[in-house]
Structure 1
Amino acid sequence: MDAKSSPWYPPHYELADAAALKGVAAGTASPAQQQRALKWLIETACATYDMSYRPNSERDTSFAEGRRFVGLEIIKLLHIDLALLRKE
């Protein structure tokens, strides 16, 4: 396994990804930037849809699963029924 495919290796990003995240943080992102930032977080930074199992390293598997867990939590909140939360 090369370093770039290791779960601890920093994920790929483009200038537009960085600009989108900076815009979200500043509260100035356009709708398209907000969508891009969320897509980058879920799909690239968290590798939510990738398999987290690493056959040669339990530590790498655990690390990848930690990243994936964050993405799954984001997706859960995107799909949660807000009416149910308001009742609590």
Structure 2
Amino acid sequence: MTKAPAPYEPYLWADNLNVVYAFKTLNAGTASEEQQKLIMKSLMDITGYYDLSYRPDSERDTAFAEGKRFIGAQLVKMVNLPGAMIEQSKQRKKQSPPK
């Protein structure tokens, strides 16, 4: 059985230069549609969203992996929010008194 990779290992950016360039163009505001899609796919890989967080040999590694995965989950949640829910949230924000 293959052991899950250590969640704290850095992303192998040197092996994925097309992803690096896609992020650079996104940051510059010039990413193409193809690059934007590559970035979303890469974020799911980088955060380990589709991987199991559990690491049998280390609770700390499990917690670290789950922290990374949480970021991916938040991105997926925002991308999949229905428009009506977003509008309801905007209305609630307008109605709540300032703190």
Instruction: Determine if the TM-score, normalized by the shorter chain, exceeds 0.5.
Output: yes
Report what 1:80 is aligned to.
Answer: 81
Deviation at 1:45, TM superposition (A): 1.0
Q: 2:35 aligns with which of 33, 40, 49?
A: 33
Identity rate of aligned residues, in percent? 40
Structure 2: 5+ residue runs without aligned partners?
A: 90-99
Report what 1:6 is aligned to.
Answer: 6
TM-score by length of 1: 0.89
Report what 2:18 is aligned to.
Answer: 16
Q: Deviations over 1:26-75 (max 9, x none)?
A: 11000000000111011x21010000000010000000000000001100
Distance 1:83 1:22 in 2: 32
Deviation at 1:12, TM superposition (A): 2.5
Distance 1:21 1:75 in 2: 18
Distance 2:30 2:39 in 1: 12
The 10-residue stretch of structure 1 (74-83 or 53-62) with the greater mean CA deviation from structure 2? 74-83
For 1:81, give the aligned amino acid: P
Are residues 1:50 and 2:57 paired? Answer: no
TM-score by length of 2: 0.80
| Runs of 4 or more above 2 Å deviation | none
Distance 1:17 1:53 in 2: 27
Report what 1:62 is aligned to.
Answer: 63
For 2:73, give the aligned amino acid: L
